[in-house]
Amino acid sequence: MDYKIKETIELNNCPLCASKSFEFLYNDFNNIPYVFCNDCSLVFQNPRSIIDYEQDYWSMSKDPDGALRDLMSEDERKFKVKNRLINEIKYVNSLPGGKILDAGCGPGFFLAEINDNWEKYGLELSEYNINYIKKIFPYINAEIGVLEEMPYKDNFFDIVYCFQVMEHVQNPAKIIKEFGRVCKPNGKIIISTPNINSFCSKRFKSNYRLLGAPHIIMWSPITMKKLFDIIGFKVFKEYYPYFKTDYFTIKNIMRLFNKNKISPPFYGNEMNLYAEIDL
């Protein structure tokens, strides 16, 4: 998508393991540089892009295929629920209930689909989104805040859910510690994020569609599990939504053959990991 970069920051250490040993990987299709950590295998931007996540980010945007999208529209909400959120919605709604946090809740589309057995909390950086939630979904306990310092008591939530946020954050180790702090001992953390170890990423390299200015860290299943290790959590379920979604088309399959263009939506691009305390 098209985003305005406010500034860039040069990094001296890997955001995950603090190693100083990393090497240039490539510039993506928007000329954003990515590097590879030789110690923990994390892929991240260096220098790092800093962008604004207020109204301009959530208004009309152009995706990597050139299509214009209104991220706050009802059509966008229905598409997102059907193709990207539905499995987590079904999973949470199958449980007895409790307290759930959507960490980086955006406009609240996920929590709006969760049943009334749950007390729903949303923490979000964007004032624009919080104002939207308070108007459209007033039953959600949503507030402005940063994930590095969450305003909740220890052991407060049964589920901490984080959808497509961890690729945007500057201090992932501090954030995962906060997730562990606010999660109950028998609670679960669910994270969805782009997968830099996917087939398309390996095949298309700098033309991988999920690269770009907002995605300052690109995770793989291995590096995400290393992040969970910091708080003693173990992944018990992982899956990669694609085949039962609207992205699964002949047109997108055929696009796999041309590596000189932006990669298509495909299996493995997005990973969803469920974790709990490793007993």
CATH of residue 181's domain is 3.40.50.150
Question: Which residues are within 8 A (CB) of 45 and not within 5 positions of it... i.e. 6 or more apart?
Answer: 32, 33, 34, 35, 215, 216, 217
User: What's the domain range around 45?
Assistant: 5-277
Dmax over CA atoms of the chain, in Å, equals 51
Distance from C-alpha of 47 to C-alpha of 8, rounded to nearest angstrom = 6
Ramachandran assignment for 204, one of left (phi > 0), alpha (psi -120 to 50 degrees), beta (any other): alpha
Predicted local distance difference test score (pLDDT) of residue 278 = 87
Predicted local distance difference test score (pLDDT) of residue 66 = 81
Distance from C-alpha of 77 to C-alpha of 70, rounded to nearest angstrom = 10
CA angle 250, 271, 79 (to 5 degrees): 55
Predicted local distance difference test score (pLDDT) of residue 56 = 83
Q: Which residues of 69-98 are buried (b: 16+ CB within 10 A; e: fewer)?
A: eebbeeeebeebeebbbeebbebbeeeeee
pTM of the predicted protein model? 0.96
Query: What angle do the packed helices 172-182 and 221-229 form, to 10 degrees?
Result: 60
| Locus of tokens 């041309």 | 258
Distance from C-alpha of 105 to C-alpha of 94, rounded to nearest angstrom = 21
Predicted local distance difference test score (pLDDT) of residue 67 = 83
Structure-token pair, residue 189: 């953390």
Report the run of H or E that residue 87 belongs to, with start and end: helix 86-93
User: Cβ-count burial of 61 within 10 angstroms (0-12 exposed, 13-18 middle, 19+ buried)?
Assistant: middle
User: Measured in whole angstroms, how far is the alpha carbon of residue 259 from the centre of its chain?
Assistant: 25
Residue 145 phi/psi, 5° resolution? 180, 170
Question: Which residues are within 8 A (CB) of 187 and not within 5 positions of it... i.e. 6 or more apart?
Answer: 155, 157, 158, 159, 160, 276
**Under DSSP, is residue 148 helix (H, G, I), strand (E, B) or coil?**
helix
Mean pLDDT, each 10-residue run in order, the chain (279 residues): 82 97 97 97 97 85 83 93 97 98 98 98 97 97 97 98 98 98 97 98 98 97 97 97 96 97 97 93
* Rounded (to 5) percent helix, strand, coil in the chain: 30, 30, 40
User: Measured in whole angstroms, how far is the alpha carbon of residue 254 from the centre of its chain?
Assistant: 27
Residue 28 CA: distances (Å) to CA of 3, 24, 40, 208: 14, 12, 21, 8
Predicted local distance difference test score (pLDDT) of residue 100 = 98
| Locus of tokens 């954030």 | 175
Q: How many domains does the chain have?
A: 1
Distance from C-alpha of 99 to C-alpha of 119, rounded to nearest angstrom = 5
Provide the residue type at 125 as one letter: L
